[in-house]
Amino acid sequence: QRLKAAVHYTVGCLCQEVAEDKDVQFSKQTIAAISEITFRQCGTEVCIEYFFILCRHAKRSTVTTEDVKLLARRSNSLLKYITQKSEEITSSNMKQKEKKKKSSASKEGRTYGEQEEAVTENEDSNMA
């Protein structure tokens, strides 16, 4: 039930974006119909089975964004949207990691570059 609500919410957001870009309106009934069609086309059981097969084929136990992209490849707009969101999330995660590295380096009283230099020196001394 929560998944169905999430699909409905996402479809509503997408319809709102399209409405603003194309200067059109979507009725609540239309959004509900699109949500239902989307939910049925991407039925939970079908998706889970598809992901299970992909992971087993790749000898993995984790579903990746590439698996989701494979499922969405029949719809160019959906694939483009998923790819865009995936890149945004990856970029955001990289920025957060950089912030954590910088904050942990500053807590130790070193700059980020000084910390990297110290790690390199430590690795060099361990190899000797």
Helix%, strand%, coil% for the chain, nearest 5: 80, 0, 20
pLDDT given for residue 127 in this prediction = 45
Does residue 67 belong to any structural domain of this protein?
A: yes
Each residue's pLDDT, cut to its tens digit, for the chain (128 residues) gives: 777 888 888 889 989 988 888 888 999 999 998 888 887 776 666 777 888 888 888 898 888 888 888 878 877 887 888 888 888 888 888 888 888 877 776 666 555 555 555 554 544 444 44
* Predicted TM-score (pTM) above 0.85: no
pLDDT given for residue 128 in this prediction = 43
pLDDT given for residue 124 in this prediction = 46
**Per-residue CA distances from 11 to 7, 15, 124 (Å):** 6, 6, 54
Does residue 10 belong to any structural domain of this protein?
A: yes
CB atoms within 10 A of CB 90: 11
Angle at 32 between CA 15 and CA 77, to 5 degrees: 40
Same domain, 32 and 52: no
pLDDT given for residue 73 in this prediction = 83
Does residue 105 belong to any structural domain of this protein?
A: no
How many independent structural domains does the chain possess? Answer: 2
Does residue 112 belong to any structural domain of this protein?
A: no
Same domain, 39 and 60: no
Task: Provide the token pair at 6.
Answer: 């999430």
**Domain carrying residue 75:** 46-93
